[in-house]
Amino acid sequence: MGALLAAGILLGGSIALERQAGALENGVARTPPMGWNSWNTFGCDINETLIKQMADTIVSSGLRDLGYEYVVVDDCWFNPARDSAGNLQGNPSRFPSGMKALGDYLHARGLKFGIYQVPVDRTCAQYFGGYPGATGSQGHEVQDARQFAAWGVDYLKYDWCSPNGTIDDQVRTFAKMRDALAATGRPIVYSINPNSIHAKTGPQRDWGDVANMWRTTEDITNKWDTGQTNGYPMGIQNIVNVTIPLASYARPGAFNDPDMMEVGRGGMTDTEMRSHFALWAIMAAPLMAGNDLRAMSQATATILKNQNLIAINQDPLGLQARQVGNDGTRRVLAKRLGNGDVAVALFNQGGTTTTVSTTASAIGLAGGSFTLRDAWTNAVSTSAGTISATVPSHGTVVYRVSGGTPPSPTPSPTPSGHPGGCTAAYRLVNDWGTGFESEVTVSNDGPSPLDGWTVKMTLAGGQTITSLWNGVNTGTSGAITVKNASYNGTIAGNGSTTFGFTAGGAGSTAPAGVTCTSP
């Protein structure tokens, strides 16, 4: 859903940030969103003066021009009661000018307006008794989406905030708002958190068929390691452990979200803060600052403004770094970039300084002469193939490696009319006698992204589709065809997406001839 995004270009040995035409495809942001969110520092203690001050600081500090454009107003912005027509309202004492006026203020400064809501009856603050009312979007999805569009909202953070529901319930419920937002015709980045007050379903599937970004873990805190596997609160090291294995899910317009950043909020050393930002950058994570920007130190500003790392994060390929080495202490991540370079993170998880090393061949480059640019110092060095650095405890050195022979480019899509690299698997979810619910998982059986898919199948006699989601169907009985929706046409290498449907008739007989092709 929409963003005007920054990407890094190497110009004369330095990295310049350039707003790219074509950063949107079908209204979907191709690179991770960047901006600021109110929750980590201010929680419920927010008002329009604070938000405006933060917006003004984003502009005056130069952060906007580096790509930080979304200003997200988190929980507690709303009136505890809807109006007589059931519409959401801004809290009149906190936001006396109204939410549309706030959006206009942000837009006038070249920024974008983000807002918070939940798919259940109560927001997280309401659930825990920290804020009155019950104003969630449950039963109001279409109405609220239209309201957000009318206010000029550009980004929706949609937080589960309930212990109830299976992962399938979550997919269906999150999809209601996804479809409601799409129906408004306004590009709105859709950010979901399925883990909130719930079993941690974020890392259990590729949510790219549902949202532009999805939380992988419980909430972050400003600590390096809290000892959690995936429970509240999560430290930086704990979040990295969960998110690194999910690299195959990330792609243009769909990103793993390891939560808002804690850079500048204390609780960690400067080395750990720098490592935090570097790891978020190379993991293609949304870069959402969470500190009080009005009072940030020079050290914090230096981290948040690192143009080399922002360029790596905003690379148009939209890839998350993959792990190429890990001995328990020394961890190596590599992210292929659009111009053929590879970004490499040498991460020291241990308690003492150590040397972390890899090779050009291990990160997918061939040849005998390479140039390494240090993302922190901007120093340039050359190598015949060894990539190595002395890294302090909890530190991360990042090199942008160029030269040699880059990895093979992604193959072109399979020509039209020929079978694509996809398979389709049918599963009956529920059969209640007079009707049933089923789903079909479409899998990419190759290592390269698959662009578009079509499933064909023949329903048994007496079976008629009554509703279908995550796809577009032609026909409702007998031989039917289902094509991808606009938001889930791209399937990452060895990844998958799922569409589902309900139908009249008994579901005990599976469809015949379930096949998948890619144009």
Residue among 75, 144, 159, 206 flagged as catalytic: 159
Tell me which residue has tokens 């169907």.
Answer: 473
Element holding 273 (H helix, E strand): helix 270-282
Residue among 219, 257, 259, 315 flagged as catalytic: 219
Sheet with 435-444, strands from edge to edge, namely 422-431, 435-444, 496-504, 464-469
Catalytic annotation on 431?
Answer: no
Which residue from 130, 120, 112 is spatially nearest to 46, judged by alpha carbons? Answer: 130
Which residue from 226, 143, 150, 213 is spatially nearest to 177, judged by alpha carbons? Answer: 143
E strands present in 266-341:
287-289, 322-326, 330-336
Catalytic annotation on 219?
Answer: yes
What's the N-to-C CA distance of the chain in angstroms? Answer: 23
Element holding 504 (H helix, E strand): strand 496-504
Q: Measured between alpha carbons, how far is 308 from 17 in angstroms, rounded to an integer? A: 9
DSSP-derived secondary structure for 469-486: ESSEEE-SSSEEEEE--T
- To 10 degrees, what angle do helices 236-243 and 270-282 make? 20
- Do residues 482 and 442 make contact, with C-beta atoms less than 8 angstroms apart? no
Would you call the peptide bond into 163 cis, given omega within 30 degrees of 0 as the criterion? no
DSSP-derived secondary structure for 208-258: GGT-SEEE-SS-B-S-S--S-SSSSSBPHHHHHHHHGGGGGG-BTTBEEE-
DSSP-derived secondary structure for 129-179: TSS-S----TT-HHHHHHHHHHHT--EEEEE---S---HHHHHHHHHHHHH
Other CB atoms within a 10 A radius of the CB of residue 63 amount to 22
Classify the C-alpha dihedral 418-26-212-69 as positive or negative. positive
Contacts of 13 (CB under 8 A, 6+ apart): 380
Query: Nearest 5°: phi and psi at 36?
Result: -145, 145
Catalytic residues: 159, 219
